[in-house]
Structure 1
Amino acid sequence: MVPDSPVFNAPFSYSGQAMTNDASACNTTIMTTDANDTGLSASCSPPALSMPTTILLPYTSIGPAMCHNVGKLPIPHCSPQYQVFTVEPDNLLAVPASLRPTVLQGEIPHIQYVDALPFEGLRDKLLIGLHTGSFDEIEFCTDLLNDGFRIWGNDPTLPMAWEVTEPFARKWRWLLDDCIIDIANFWSGQSRIPAIQG
């Protein structure tokens, strides 16, 4: 069950949406800001803007975003096998902060899609669930890839770019940290979509 989460009084206002039929292009949303305070915690908050600004935000599906994130990791790419993910201390700074491996990623063999998610709590809960067999991984991956998240902007390594969709959040809430719901409610406030509720 999703707990009550307020829609944040974020400084952005939705101005419109442009769509394209070009498969290689992203959809875009134009947003305008006029304040600095987003109401989000520091771990989730977007950079503060100091003056009214128009931002053109592309959004894409999770598949290209995950491929982008895997490309940022110092591991063999497109490996379908189960493996652990660790980073040598000398290489740690080369890995985006949101994708740095947790202790569990270095101990529990898993497929790379786990490493591409920019939420360490979600990664660890997935690994525990996979290790204990408490859920169906194929069902989870199917839901994840079928509009589980919308990715905003051009840097999918940033957790703030990932908006979980309501159907995915309702079904898989036990895997999602509150920060993920807060981010979804931030983005829903931008497009005047109701917040995800319990």
Structure 2
Amino acid sequence: MGAFYTLQEGTSEERAHIRNVLWGLDRLPWAIQENIITAWITSWKCSCFKTIDEVPGFSFSEYKLIEHVNDVVHFGIVLAERSINRWNTHVNWEELIQILILHDIDKPLLLAKEENEVIKTEIASQIQHGVLGALILNEIGFSDKVITTVATHATNSPFHGSNTEAYILHYADLFSADHALRIDEKTPFYQRMSL
């Protein structure tokens, strides 16, 4: 792509580390796992962070990105299982797990650390969260549903997907974000919203 990122394969050690830290990856076919690892390697290696483990999940918290993503995968799967059992909802498991694992793929490119403070990068002022991730995913060859759901999942997106997987991601993501706010003793999103 050029200015924002360049696709990266990473070393075998880096790929093995990504494989080990992403919960739920083993539920997917091998080829999709490999594409997910390439997406994460690309975002991380084109960022300012030395390791994927140090990337913050939010500009407002020290809650680490990988921890947030793994929480979103856990809670997303629980929500999907409950909605299937309770409401007979149809879920495409393969796409859902990809969406959950990849939803914040662009965060390493959008956040940085400056004197122990998490800040937004210059890229973050040029392109909305989710869209840059969608560009990476499109170049690697993910499905349209995965790409568009990642592109529009941010709470400040002008519109959101209407598929079940997007709905599940939304609540799993906000549940984890509220946890990050609560552990930092900040007001969670659910207390900020008014009807």
The TM-score normalised by the length of structure 2 is 0.26
Higher gyration radius (CA): 1
Structure with more strand by fraction: 1
Structure with more helix by fraction: 2
The TM-score normalised by the length of structure 1 is 0.25
Structure scoring higher RCO (CA < 8 A, sep ≥ 6) equals 1
